[in-house]
Amino acid sequence: MKILVLNCGSSSLKYQLFDMQGEAVMAKGLVERIGIAGSRVKHVRVSGKDTIREGDIPDHTEAIKIVLGLLTGADTGVIASLGDISAVGHRVVHGGEKYAKSVMVDSSVIASIEECIYLAPLHNPANLAGIHAMQTSLPGVPNVAVFDTAFHQTMPPEAFLYGVPYKYYEKDKVRRYSFHGTSHMFVSGRAAEVLGRPIESLKIITCHLGNGSSLAAVDGGRCVDASMGMSTVPGIIMGTRSGDVDSAVALYLVEREGGAARASDILNKESGLLGISGLSSDLRDIESAAAEGNERACLAVNMLTRSVKKYIASYAAVMGGADAIAFTAGIGENSDSVRRDSLAGLEFMGVKIDEAKNKGLRGKEAVISSSDSRVKVMVIPTNEELMIARDTLKLTQKKA
């Protein structure tokens, strides 16, 4: 069974085609600058040459037509015909309170995703564009929506409510949702497999550290707390997002900079590692500047590792301990110094890192704590696309 996984951004589209027998990726790619001059497609076959295609692509429907053409083309294809694609799995950013699990897409699901646009104004319309484009290009092929928010829906009210009047939750569903749920679910599940213990018996802290970052407390396989909020801004300091700030700071920016739209841009696009260092949002640039003694780059990294440490300790407190801490995503999988410095000082809660195992480890699954560490520390490369493909398979098989 072949499953296509789509992750549509406002001007981009990432895809992977899986052969679910063996869960192998057959082809993957990225379409950039959709609706902007200078569109570009990079199509990568696991066995075969890569293809680059340049030329303007006006919308997601056109982008998907091109992708489907590449997947079946004589020189670029990996399947004989579009009939080989059994189902399509879509990453959908916001499912609100309605979806704690993935679902088959029908008109009521589309209506619910539309209702959540006010909570994810950049992402949900793009995700919907992908769904509509697939319905047009592959009529009759089932679509499955896999929500970034779903895994976090098990948080108890004391974790997801803000201390503002309750009526805003009742009326407008103002609350913490948090994101990257598919990654936290995949990584916590894999951590339990690595430990060889049932996830129901484990307390796991998952640290998804990338351009966007979040941590989650996973108790017995259920998320009980997570660091992003109603938006993707809160939590630890990120590439360009501020992470937690006093709400008075946000209000001050609204007044000082002339409106909510500008303040939102500052908190989303000009803050974080970029805002503090004044150099870059990319940790690699910050780490090299810090190594050369750039003080603001050092400060940015120190703010990052301090905020990760605080979340780890607070999640251990919430769960009454931790059996494992798992690092994932671009920074979590690749930066040995961020892992080391985030954990420094957590010996009091049973965390002992083995620096020989940690140092130089990039993008590979491994346990990096010392053998006598009460808390196992791991690096687990995330695989959100595979998780989406698995859910899509499960739901479409159930229906068949």
Residues near ligand ADP, by CB under 6 A: 210-212, 239, 282-284, 287, 329-331, 334-335, 362
Cα(367)–Cα(359) distance, rounded to whole angstroms?
12
Report the DSSP pairing between strands 13-19 and 2-8: antiparallel
In which order are the strands placed within the sheet that holds 103-104? Answer: 51-54, 40-45, 24-32, 13-19, 2-8, 85-92, 143-147, 103-104
Catalytic position from the list 19, 56, 106, 148: 148
Nearest to 228, CA basis, from 250, 248, 206: 206
Q: Which is nearer to ligand ADP, 128 or 361 (CB)?
A: 361
Does residue 148 have an active-site annotation?
yes
Cα(227)–Cα(213) distance, rounded to whole angstroms?
9
Q: How far is the CB of 288 from ligand ADP (least distance, A)?
A: 10
Q: How far is the CB of 334 from ligand ADP (least distance, A)?
A: 3
Q: Which residue's entry shows tokens 């789509």?
A: 6
Q: How far is the CB of 213 from ligand ADP (least distance, A)?
A: 7
In the chain, where does DSSP find H-type helix?
60-72, 107-115, 123-137, 157-160, 167-172, 181-195, 247-257, 260-269, 272-277, 283-291, 295-319, 329-334, 336-343, 355-358, 384-399
Tell me how far apart the 2 most distant CA atoms of the chain are, in Å: 61
Q: How far is the CB of 219 from ligand ADP (least distance, A)?
A: 25
Q: Which is nearer to ligand ADP, 154 or 280 (CB)?
A: 280
Q: Which is nearer to ligand ADP, 153 or 382 (CB)?
A: 382
Q: Which is nearer to ligand ADP, 71 or 389 (CB)?
A: 389
Report the DSSP pairing between strands 213-219 and 222-226: antiparallel
Cα(200)–Cα(382) distance, rounded to whole angstroms?
20
The backbone region for 339, taken as left when phi is positive above 0, alpha when psi lies in -120 to 50, beta otherwise, is alpha
Q: Which is nearer to ligand ADP, 31 or 331 (CB)?
A: 331
User: Which residues, in sequence order, are CB contacts of 258 under 8 Å at separation 6+?
Assistant: none
Q: How far is the CB of 27 from ligand ADP (least distance, A)?
A: 20
Q: Which is nearer to ligand ADP, 142 or 179 (CB)?
A: 179
Nearest residue to the partner ligand ADP, using Cβ: 330
- 3-class secondary structure, 380: coil
Q: How far is the CB of 389 from ligand ADP (least distance, A)?
A: 18
Residue positions annotated with a catalytic role? 148
